[in-house]
């Protein structure tokens, strides 16, 4: 495995590569392509942190845990609540901030705070020719015509290898409260979550566990405000099911974020994105062993028998990503949803421009 210790060394390695490169961050997501492994873990460290300006500049290989510890000392946090895949995938390693940004990993708070890409201010990366490019915050060189900050977030290393990211961070909430509805079916849960999200009570989490028949609604903020809003939500949601308030539910939301209910259970795991109102119509067609819902019902985690081709069962607009499966199943079915022809052509054109030799994670995204 190649593990460069600096941006210049990384760029030199890419420029001198004679074949495909398998780009890795902390190695926690289990995604791999043919080629020599190139890890960013040697690019670690905090470049700039200005708590008063809510700004953080960090090297891509920096562990997420190190970033979160730094922010917590200043009573701040990553608002997009990135998932830790290790329990679900049974992987080792240490999640890195570059890996989070490369995959646009966003947790339950996305419905209120936005996705990882919404908090990304700037990037530095080496493209497929080994050229170092900067865009966004702390700009030294811009590439006219592209918002590279948005392009790189979610590109999974196919356009370039991140070396540094600039992020907007936010204050930690003083308190949190969770309203739990018990004994509610999926249609009722979707209606209840929609009502909560449409209320003026600034909901920061809305999830449903189809195995326990419980829906969870989270509010955060100043202590008195969180208490008031959770009490109002109990009254608002009481027509749907019995509702009660949990004040200390941090472990619950960590489990929702990391899909803990599927850890160490046999089967493939799919991640499906749809309109929340379409979830009820879709679920019977999935024939899943177990289901978990986040983002008010718009994000569905499905546990299915190994080798199941789930995309053909989706009868509503949406897309499905194969998150956990044997390597041969991933190769057969593809990890990511096939793109419509016009979008696929655009994506291929971008890859040719940023990686003309086609060496960065080739074939990973189509």
Structural domains in the chain plus CATH codes: 7-171 (3.30.465.10), 175-257 (3.30.70.100), 260-333 (3.30.70)
Alpha-carbon distances, residue 281 vs 271, 284, 301 (angstroms)? 17, 7, 15
How confident is residue 140, by pLDDT bands cut at 50, 70 and 90?
very low
**First CA to last CA distance, the chain:** 24
- How high is the pLDDT of residue 144? 46
- What would the pLDDT profile of 348-359 be if each residue is shown by its tens digit? 999 999 999 999
How confident is residue 137, by pLDDT bands cut at 50, 70 and 90?
low
82 pLDDT exceeds 80? yes
- What would the pLDDT profile of 229-238 be if each residue is shown by its tens digit? 999 999 999 9
CA distance 142 to 111: 31
- What would the pLDDT profile of 165-197 be if each residue is shown by its tens digit? 999 999 999 999 999 999 999 999 999 999 999
CA distance 218 to 247: 10
Copy the structure tokens of residue 319. Answer: 């897309």
145 pLDDT exceeds 70? no
How confident is residue 146, by pLDDT bands cut at 50, 70 and 90?
low
26 pLDDT exceeds 90? no
| Backbone φ, ψ for residue 168 (5° rounding) | -90, 130
- How high is the pLDDT of residue 32? 73
31 pLDDT exceeds 90? no
Counting residues of the chain whose pLDDT is more than 70, the rounded percentage is 97
- Give start and end residues of each alpha helix (H) in 78-124: 86-89, 97-103, 110-113
């Amino acid at each position: 495995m190649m593990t460069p210790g600096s941006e210049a060394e990384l760029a030199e390695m890419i420029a001198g590569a004679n074949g495909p490169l398998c780009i890795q961050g902390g190695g926690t997501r289990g995604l791999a392509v043919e080629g020599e492994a190139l890890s960013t873990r040697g690019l670690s460290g905090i470049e700039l942190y200005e708590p008063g300006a809510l700004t953080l500049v960090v090297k891509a290989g920096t562990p997420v845990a190190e970033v979160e510890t730094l922010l917590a000392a200043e009573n701040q946090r990553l608002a997009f609540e990135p998932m830790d895949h290790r329990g679900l995938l049974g992987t080792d390693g240490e999640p890195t901030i570059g890996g989070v940004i490369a995959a646009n990993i966003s947790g339950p708070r996305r419905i209120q705070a936005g996705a990882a890409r919404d908090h990304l201010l700037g990037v530095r990366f080496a493209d497929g020719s080994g050229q170092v490019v900067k865009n966004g915050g702390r700009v030294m060189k811009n590439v006219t015509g592209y918002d590279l900050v948005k392009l790189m977030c979610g590109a999974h290393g196919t356009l370039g290898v991140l070396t540094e990211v600039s992020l907007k961070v936010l204050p930690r909430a003083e308190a949190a409260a969770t309203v739990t509805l018990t004994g509610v079916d999926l249609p009722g849960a979707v209606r209840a979550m929609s009502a909560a999200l449409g209320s003026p009570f600034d909901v920061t989490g809305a999830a449903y566990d189809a195995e326990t028949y419980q829906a969870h609604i989270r509010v955060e903020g100043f202590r008195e405000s969180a208490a008031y809003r959770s009490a109002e939500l109990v009254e608002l949601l009481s027509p749907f099911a019995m509702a009660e308030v949990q004040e200390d539910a941090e472990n619950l939301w960590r489990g929702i974020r990391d899909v803990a209910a599927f850890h160490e259970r046999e089967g493939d795991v799919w991640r499906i994105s749809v309109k929340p109102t379409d979830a009820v119509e879709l679920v019977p067609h999935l024939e899943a062993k177990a289901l978990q819902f986040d983002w008010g019902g718009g994000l569905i985690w499905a546990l299915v028998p190994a080798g199941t081709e789930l995309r053909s069962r989706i009868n509503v607009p949406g897309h499905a990503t194969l998150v956990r499966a044997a390597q041969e199943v991933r190769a057969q079915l593809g990890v990511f949803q096939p793109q419509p022809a016009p979008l696929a052509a655009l994506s291929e054109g971008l890859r040719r421009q940023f990686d003309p030799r086609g060496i960065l994670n080739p074939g990973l995204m189509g």
